[in-house]
Amino acid sequence: MHAVTIATPGLGDRSYVVIHEGTAVVVDPQRDIDRVLAVVDDHDARVSHVLETHIHNDYVTGGFVLAELLGVPYVVNADDEVAFDRLGVRDGDVLEAGAMNIRVVATPGHTYTHLAYAFEVDGEPPVLCSGGSLLYGSTGRPDLLGMEHAHDLASHQWESARRLVDELPGDTALLPTHGFGSFCAATETSGADQSTLHHEALGNPVLGQDRETFIDEVIAGLDDYPAYYAHMAPANSAGPDPADLSPPALADADELRRRMDAGEWVVDLRSRTAFAPRHVPGTLNFGIDEESFVTWLGWLIPWGTPLTLLGSTADDVAAAQRELVRIGIDRPAAAAVGDPESWTDGSLAERQSVDFAGLAAAMSQDPDGFVVLDVRRDSERADSHIPGSLHIPLHELIDRMHEVPDGQTAWVHCAAGYRASIAASLLARGGIEVVSVDDDYDVATSMGLTNHATAATPA
């Protein structure tokens, strides 16, 4: 057997195509199925089944469309309530895909109906597609169905992990869907690129802790997850439409201004270093150069708000479209390509950008002359922070912008600069004077600006 990984770094997820003797099985495909079809063509294989480990909460699946296109069974837990025909399976069922046997293993924890799939061929180590159950050094988070279910699901997750290790050989290759930056992971993963059940048995906390310790630590460590997650499971249960990646209509300067005046979002995809010195006033900066682009744009935009994309090139706009369809933002209202001078008939804006040394100098000269705004998440803030700073996590900023003191400039920082630039563009659109800190937070720690001089917060 040969498993081809299709990584989606922007969402921290992986899909898989498991191939043996010309037969391919697709597991947890993303919505842009052209990537899957390219893998199948490259290996001269024929797809026999499309499998879902669970009804996903962090992306819109391509499984329904892919199975229909290829005319193959779409395998989903028989107990999942969906609005389409599928091949419903339950624990213990075995699917035949050429010479491969695929054993269905119930692994509740990430959801109640979560499944794992053990691929077996005589004479070879098994391959386990574990979805959001057992991850590399962690497990899937148990709270996506609501905190009222978190304790029960965490308990199930503990049991499911042990079942996998007990029932399958130690040399079983582990292929999880989540855990590569996805907010679906319960805790920070090991950072490994591959693993086996034996390796996880030696080091994964879920397999080294008693049930109650695991439950308590997982629940205590949970942080917020993107708001767009609320729309993913309903879309996946309904059967998503095909992704439309055709180029959006181009807008001129007049149309861009009308859209901004109407309260629509016009997003500049250029990097924060390109945006700061020259940009159209009122535009928002979500750089396509960072993998977290789609997570933060999807988290912050009021769902259903028309979205226009501004890119240096058509390729930048196309890349953003591809990222956005994966979370159900299907069609940009418009786009513009080129440079800021072509996007407006008025003057361009400039935003001051500094490093932490610049912030330290300003704090020593006029400590009461401005507010330091920390837009990191609660878990990051708990590790250390700059004393006296105002804390508003980026995903709460739109609703809490009124907490920024009137008449003061906001000097905005995060862990590495990307979120600070997003926040600064939101604040500037709201009429607040801003300075963005484009620097790594560990620099602030090394300078003694924080209240925990030995801590370094991850970017």
pLDDT in tens, 314-337: 999 999 999 999 999 999 999 999
Q: Are 295 and 324 in contact (CB under 8 A)?
A: no
Q: Which long-range contacts (CB under 8 A, 24 or more apart) does 417-420 make?
A: 417/272, 418/272, 418/287, 418/290, 418/292, 418/296, 419/296, 419/375, 419/376, 419/394, 420/272, 420/375
Specify burial of residue 54 (Cβ count, 10 A radius: 0-12, 13-18, 19+): buried
Tokens found for residue 191: 């950072």
Q: Which pLDDT score, from 0 to 100, does residue 190 have?
A: 84
Asked if residue 459 has pLDDT above 70, the reply is: no
Q: Which pLDDT score, from 0 to 100, does residue 456 have?
A: 39
CA 436 to chain centre: 24
Using DSSP, state whether 195 is helix, strand or coil. Answer: coil
Adjacent-strand bridge partners of 185: 140
Does this chain's domain 2-238 share its CATH topology with 253-342? no
- Please give the share of the chain, as a percent, with pLDDT higher than 70: 98
**What's the mean pLDDT in 403-414?**
96
Q: Which pLDDT score, from 0 to 100, does residue 187 have?
A: 87
Q: Which pLDDT score, from 0 to 100, does residue 135 have?
A: 97
Non-local CB neighbours of 433 within 8 Å, separated by 6+ positions = 408, 409, 410
Q: Which pLDDT score, from 0 to 100, does residue 111 have?
A: 98
Average pLDDT, the chain: 96
Residue identified by tokens 């386990």 is 128
Q: Which pLDDT score, from 0 to 100, does residue 367 have?
A: 81
Asked if residue 454 has pLDDT above 70, the reply is: no
**What's the mean pLDDT in 129-140?**
97
Helices vs strands, H then E, count in the chain: 15, 22
Q: Are 291 and 267 in contact (CB under 8 A)?
A: no
Per-residue three-class SS string for 336-394: EECCHHHCCCCCCECCEEECHHHHHHHHHHCCCCEEEEECCCHHHHHHCCCCCCEECCH
Strand duo 13-20 + 23-27: pairing: antiparallel
Fold of 352-446: Oxidized Rhodanese; domain 1 (3.40.250)
Amino acid at 444: A
Asked if residue 37 has pLDDT above 60, the reply is: yes
Residue identified by tokens 């869907």 is 177
What residue spans define the domains of the chain?
2-238, 253-342, 352-446
- Flag the least confident range among 118-122, 185-189, 426-430: 185-189
Quickly state the pLDDT bin for 366 (edges 50, 70, 90). Answer: confident
Using DSSP, state whether 433 is helix, strand or coil. Answer: coil
Q: Are 178 and 131 in contact (CB under 8 A)?
A: yes
Fold of 2-238: Metallo-beta-lactamase; Chain A (3.60.15)
Task: For domain 253-342, say whether CATH 3.40.250.10 is its number.
Answer: yes
Q: Which pLDDT score, from 0 to 100, does residue 188 have?
A: 85
Asked if residue 39 has pLDDT above 70, the reply is: yes
- Please give the share of the chain, as a percent, with pLDDT higher than 90: 95
Question: In Å, how far are 211, 289, 290, 351 from 429, measured between CA atoms?
Answer: 48, 22, 22, 12
> What is the 8-class DSSP label of residue 129?
E
pLDDT in tens, 176-210: 999 999 999 988 898 889 999 999 999 999 999 99
Question: In Å, how far are 39, 89, 295, 367, 394 from 298, measured between CA atoms?
Answer: 28, 32, 5, 35, 12
Non-local CB neighbours of 23 within 8 Å, separated by 6+ positions = 45, 46, 48, 97, 98, 99, 100
Concatenated DSSP letters for 215-263?
A: HHHHHHT-----TTHHHHHHHHHH-PPPP--SPPPB--HHHHHHHHHTT
Quickly state the pLDDT bin for 457 (edges 50, 70, 90). Answer: very low
Question: In Å, how far are 13, 33, 108, 213, 427 from 231, measured between CA atoms?
Answer: 18, 20, 21, 32, 27
pLDDT in tens, 53-89: 999 999 999 999 999 999 999 999 999 999 999 999 9
**What's the mean pLDDT in 302-308?**
97
Asked if residue 174 has pLDDT above 80, the reply is: yes
Asked if residue 165 has pLDDT above 50, the reply is: yes
Asked if residue 126 has pLDDT above 60, the reply is: yes
